[in-house]
Structure formats: C-alpha cells, structure tokens
A = this chain, B = another copy of it.
Amino acid sequence: MANQPTGENCKELQAALDIISGKWKPIILFHLMENETLRFSELQRAIPEITKKMLTSQLRELEYNNIIDRKVYQQVPPKVEYSMSDYGHGLKPLLVSMRTWGFNHLEHLENLYGEDNEKVMEN
C-alpha cells in the first residue's frame, strides 16, 4: 500500500486494488455482502483459517475506507457488528464484474492448459 510509482495514470486503479486485494479482503467482503451484519466471532467462524490479527487489520482498513461500518455495543462481554456501509454497497457491481471475468478466465485457462492443471508456472 506504500510505494506505487504507477506514473500518475493509474493511481485510481491502484486505489481500487488497495481496497479489494490482499489475501483476505475478498472473502471478508463477500461474507459481509451476503449477511447484512456479522459479529467479529461470526466472521472468524465463517473464515476459520484467518487469525484475529489479520481479521482485525483487514476490517480496520475497510472501515477506514468507509466500505464497512463498525458498530460497538457497550456491554460486557463486548459485541461488535460489522456490515457494509451505504457507500460500500457501491462496490458490489465491481466485485460481481470481477468475479464474472475471473470465472470465465478460469475456464479459459482450463481450455489452454487442461482440466486438472493447477497453475504451476514455476519461474
């Protein structure tokens, strides 16, 4: 997220990529798009392999970018709910377009390199 030279032309594209790229952001976004609101622990259960640290940091980035809302209930034990923000819903069409293109691309790669080929591409 720091050093992107990208010659003045595509800093906008990079801005978009910063939101949705990363190992966990896509799946977090999909869960929040499908679920209205989710608690921290519900997200953890939905994405079992993620650590609290990563879940926290990715949620914080999305919140900073106003894609999601974070609602804290002042109670013990704590309860925090995450949901897409109004603004964040504007990201949905883009995500859907990307998923569609990606779906077709995976098919395209199969046609090129065969059925059960995992992307090997060593070096």
Main secondary structure of the interface of A (DSSP, over half): helix
Q: Does A61 contact B (CB under 8 A)?
A: yes
A11 on the interface (CB 8 Å rule)? yes
Instruction: Kindly state whether residue A98 has any CB partner on chain B within 8 Å.
Output: yes
Complex Cα distance, B112 from A26, in Å, reads: 23
Smallest CB separation, A23 vs chain B (Å): 6
User: In the bound complex, do residue B10 and residue A27 qualify as a contact, i.e. CB atoms below 8 Å apart?
Assistant: yes
Question: Contacts of A19 on B, CB cut-off 8 Å?
Answer: 105
Q: Say whether B23 contacts A4, CB under 8 Å.
A: yes
Q: Within 8 Å of chain B (Cβ to Cβ): is A47?
A: yes
- Answer whether A94 and B97 are a contact pair too, CB < 8 Å, given A6-B27, A66-B112, A102-B14: yes
Shortest C-beta distance, A60 to chain B (Å), equals: 8
- The interface residues of chain B lying within 8 Å CB-to-CB of A76 are none
Task: Determine whether A5 belongs to the interface, using a CB cutoff of 8 Å to chain B.
Answer: yes
Q: How far is the CB of A87 from chain B (nearest CB, A)?
A: 7
Q: What per-residue 1/0 map shows which CB atoms of A74-89 lie under 8 Å from chain B? A: 0000000000000100
Residues of A within 8 A of B (CB): 1, 3-7, 9-17, 19-21, 23, 26-27, 30, 46-47, 49-50, 61, 64-66, 87, 90-91, 93-95, 97-103, 105-106, 108-109, 112, 119, 121
